[in-house]
Chains A and B, each alone.
Chain A
Amino acid sequence: MKIEGKHKFQASQKQIWDLFMDQRHLEKALPGCEKMEEREPGKYDVLLKIGIAAVKGTYRGKMEVVDPEPPKRYRLIGEGSGSPGFVKGEAVIELSQQDQDTIVSYQGEMQVGGLIAGIGQRMIGGIARMMVGQFFKKMEKELKSQQ
């Protein structure tokens, strides 16, 4: 499924770039992220515990920042698997300055497979959108904690 959208931050482009490259902030903002370890520069191992209501799952995965062009754009590749299923995705993230604000726009593809994909198919799209929304909300919080 396609995932795309944008979010406006009240900060400079450089500040937002640094925020998004900082593991400590990503770890707090990623939904359900329990652990995030940088194996090599730009390559992370993640442990996520996500769930809705009674459906909870633990996912082990990898995230990689690819082709970074600071402070404008980068590609993010991720994948994770757990007992309810697996997730694979790729997105292009672009930053642009608009007056005093920075717009982060993202465009990507996500594949979900396994049990949750079959049974949860009706809601997966909406839930994915919701989680992306939660991620940006948390990044806002991280931004505030810096300022």
Chain B
Amino acid sequence: MKPGAFEYFAPSTVAEAINLLDRYGDEAKIIAGGQSLVPMMNFRLARPEVLIDINRIKELDYIREKGDELLIGALTRERDLESSPLVQERCPILAKAVSFIGHFPIRTRGTIGGSLVHADPSAEIPTAILGLDARMKVVGPSGERTLEPEEFFLSYLTTSLEPSEILVEVKIPALPKKAGWSFVELSRRQGDFAIVGVASVLFMGQGGVCKEARISLGGIASTPIRAGEAEELLAGQILNEALIEKAGQKAAEATDPDSDYHASAEYRRDMARVFVQRGLKEAWNRVKGGQ
């Protein structure tokens, strides 16, 4: 089908975009990469009366290093995240997660900001971000605020952004060189939506002890979730196969997935177990044998 008619604006600054959002309120929708919005418009599931195209706000497209943090502008294209030497070096889990997003041409247009604000619970970027202490900088008519992932993701396709707010930047602490990491995903075909996706980070201490583990699951709930009990199981421990097996079981036990066309609840839950185990093993291998 073809999309319905709409009024179109292409502001060149954040301030202009916020003014437009403020003016048109409920009728307006921001378009960044459009890789999630335009399909919905083509199906006429979404029919915004006003489209605010932020692709001309070039100042939002950047990847920078500041001390131990990566600062990524919301308009940064997924394709650029994937190939960025800075991201590959300082936050490789993000580059890996992005490589699972759809296909290459989708990643040419899709943006990190768009993916986060769209908040699809199976999406790779939200899943990875949840495990990373990332902070989202958001700007609105009343100023700037910073949100942590748990505050940011509320439910299916819903974030805590106020109607006139725009996500402008994502701040991510760089991963320590010794840290293990992985991003694994189960989908029916390469590029399909994740049935379950797992981001794992292992912060290592001395003597092979895992100081802290992060396990973030996507596709299993109304937002990405952390496997808190599984993380606690690994904290302060020397890793071994049995512990990883148990962590996978614990992570799965804490989930309450729905059934859908692609996977029954039971299958999904079991795959959560399998992929947490695989993800942890891969992250641990990275610790042991280098990348």
Contact = CB atoms under 8 A, between A and B. Distances in A.
A54 B37 contact: yes
Interface of A: 1, 52-57, 83-84, 115-116, 119-127, 129-130
Given A126-B222, A130-B155, A54 B29 contact: yes
Contact of B156 (A1, A54, A121, A126): A126
Given A52-B155, A53-B119, A123-B157, 15 more contacts: A52-B157, A53-B157, A54-B45, A55-B40, A83-B44, A115-B44, A119-B45, A120-B45, A122-B261, A122-B262, A123-B121, A126-B222, A129-B258, A130-B155, A130-B222
Contact of A119 (B43, B155, B258): B43
Residue of A54, A115, A124 with most chain B CB atoms under a 10 A cut-off: A54
A121 B46 contact: no
Interface of B: 29, 37, 40, 43-48, 118-119, 121-122, 155-158, 193, 221-222, 258-262
Contacts of B155: 52, 130
A75 B73 CA distance: 53
Nearest to B37: A54
Contact of A126 (B44, B46, B193, B258): B258
Contacts of A116: 45
B157 A115 contact: no
B260 A52 contact: no
A119 B256 CA distance: 22
Nearest to A83: B44
B45 A125 contact: no
B259 A1 contact: yes
Contacts of A54: 29, 37, 40, 45-46, 48, 157
A56 B40 CA distance: 11
Contacts of B157: 52-55, 123
27 contacts: A52-B155, A52-B156, A52-B158, A53-B119, A53-B157, A54-B29, A54-B37, A54-B48, A55-B45, A55-B46, A56-B46, A84-B45, A115-B43, A115-B44, A119-B40, A119-B43, A119-B45, A120-B45, A121-B261, A122-B261, A123-B157, A123-B260, A126-B121, A126-B222, A126-B258, A127-B156, A130-B155
